[in-house]
Structure 1
Amino acid sequence: MSQNSYENARKRVRELKLLYVHLVWYISVNVMLIFINMMTSSGSWWFIYPLMGWGMGIVAHSLFTLVLSRWGKEWEEKKIKEYLTKDNE
């Protein structure tokens, strides 16, 4: 295994770990906000606003980590090698 492959895998694991930490905080804080809302407000569901706002951040973080990262530097290098191979034939 090359050093470059190891560093790429390490970077990917670090990105996934940050996403998981973000998800744990999101769930923990929002469960607490829901509990506070239910104990203090009668009929007003204000917890939905931070839930949705932060939820959009979670969706964006997930997209960048799980989907868009596949079009990163590794993808570029793979495509460059592919085109160079085609041009040489």
Structure 2
Amino acid sequence: MNQRLTPEDIERIAHQRAGAKLGWYVHAVVYVAVNLFIFGISRYGFGDRPWSVAPLLGWGLGLALHGVAVFLLGSGGALRERLVQRERDDLQHRQRNGL
């Protein structure tokens, strides 16, 4: 059941993982920059109440879910790898025992 990865497979997977992580970092930088701008407008420009909290929280949830998808559930993520290994072990156990 364990398959060996070719150097080309390793290179392709490494590029995919790095691209996904870079995408999250770009998302985080844009989140901070835009929300600082929105906070400035909210605080010093329009209105008496800090309405910038709503987009901060909403987009923050999206950023957090993006991080979970990239770092935990994505290909090579720690949680995903543990679950895959558990399923692999279960399938091998069933195959050995004729279940």
Do these two structures clear the TM 0.5 threshold for a shared fold by scoring above it? yes
1:83 and 2:88 correspond:
no
Q: 2: distance between equivalents of 1:83 and 1:6? A: 28
Residue equivalent to 1:63: 68
* % identical aligned pairs: 23
1:6 aligns with 2:15: no
| 3-state SS of 1:17 partner | helix
Give the paired residue count: 83
Unaligned runs of 5+ in 1: none
CA-atom RMSD in angstroms:
2.6
Q: Residue type matched to 1:17 in 2?
A: L
- For 2:57 and 2:48, locate their aligned partners in 1 and report how far apart those are by CA, in whole Å: 18
Task: Tell me the SS of whatever aligns to 2:11.
Answer: helix
After TM superposition, give the deviation of residue 41 of structure 1 in Å. 4.2
Aligned-pair CA distance for 1:83: 2.5
Give the match's secondary structure for 1:12.
helix
The amino acid of 1:79's aligned partner reads R
SS of structure 2 residue aligned to 1:13: helix
Q: What's the CA shift for 1:64?
A: 0.4
Give the letter aligned to residue 41 of structure 2.
I
Shift of 1:54: 0.2
The answer to whether structure 1 residue 31 and structure 2 residue 36 are counterparts is yes
- C-alpha separation in 2, matches of 1:29 and 1:66: 23
- Identify the structure with bigger relative contact order (alpha carbons < 8 Å, sequence gap 6+): 1
| TM-score, with structure 1 as normaliser | 0.78
Residue 16 (structure 1) shift:
0.4
Distance 1:31 1:13 in 2: 27
The structure where helix makes up a greater share of residues is: 1
